[in-house]
Amino acid sequence: MTKKLEGKTAVVTGASKGIGAAIARDLAAAGARVVVNYASSKEGAEKVVADIVAKGGKAVAVHGDMSKAADVAHLFAETKKSYGGLDILVNNAGIYKFAPLEEVTEELFHSQFNLNVLGLLMATKEAVKLFGDKGGSVINISSTVTRITPPHSSVYSATKGAVDAITGVLAKELGPRKIRVNAINPGLIATEGTHVGGMSEGDMKGWIEATAPLGRIGQVDDIAPTAVYLASDDSKYMTGQTLFVSGGL
């Protein structure tokens, strides 16, 4: 049986762990060649690549800090060198630092905006060049925080609010070039990042179990299939959408 993404090439930013790693694995399982980007976890990225290759898929790991324009350009140059073109971009690389208003600083603001917003714009700009005339699919990993606006998340929620806005804007701007732009807005998902931040075990987990209609926090395999859907022709008439994959939260 032909796989849904056979013959396609995908870049997944921040794919050495967490949601990005799961998306990279699922895109590869659907037949895509995958560029697994990482910033600091070379070992994690190489493990994702090895797992994909062991299952008969194709992937390469490429370093790049997505908040730096030169690194972003390098990632897409390496993509062209390895696979010749591009069809799918998953803008997943992102950081979340919660803090009450009193602790909001320039550093807290710029570190999150430079990656979550500027990095996403720079990566999309480079990807569009590689999509060429055939078009492509851009999938932005936003967050449910844009709807629930939890306390202490002013800067992080603002970055993801910007991601939702950019998703709508670029869908309009790039639609005529056959490029679809959609977002996935996950609820709280158990990942290395949420574990280190104490979110997937603490009060927030309890609140979600009590509040979300599906009564549990998410796992990375709750999110990755939606990325495959948005990458594939199954969603070919869908653009500018924000899909909340959050247990109904």
Cβ of residue 191: shortest distance to ligand NAP, in angstroms? 3
Q: Say whether 96 is catalytic.
A: no
CB 216 within 8 A of CB 188: no
For residues 211 and 207, give the distance between their C-alpha atoms in angstroms, rounded to a whole number: 6
With respect to ligand NAP, which residue has the nearer C-beta, 6 or 43? 43
Cβ of residue 44: shortest distance to ligand NAP, in angstroms? 6
CB 32 within 8 A of CB 10: yes
Which residue in the list 38, 156, 229, 237 is annotated as catalytic? 156
CA distances from 217 to 25, 213, 222, 240 (A): 21, 11, 10, 26
With respect to ligand NAP, which residue has the nearer C-beta, 118 or 174? 118
Any idea how long the chain is?
249
Minimal CA–CA distance to 134: which of 88, 77, 181, 87? 87
Cβ of residue 43: shortest distance to ligand NAP, in angstroms? 9
With respect to ligand NAP, which residue has the nearer C-beta, 9 or 91? 91
In the complex, the residues that contact ligand NAP under the rule CB under 6 A are 13-20, 37-41, 44, 65-67, 92-96, 115, 141, 143, 186, 188-189, 191-194
Active centre residues (catalytic): 156
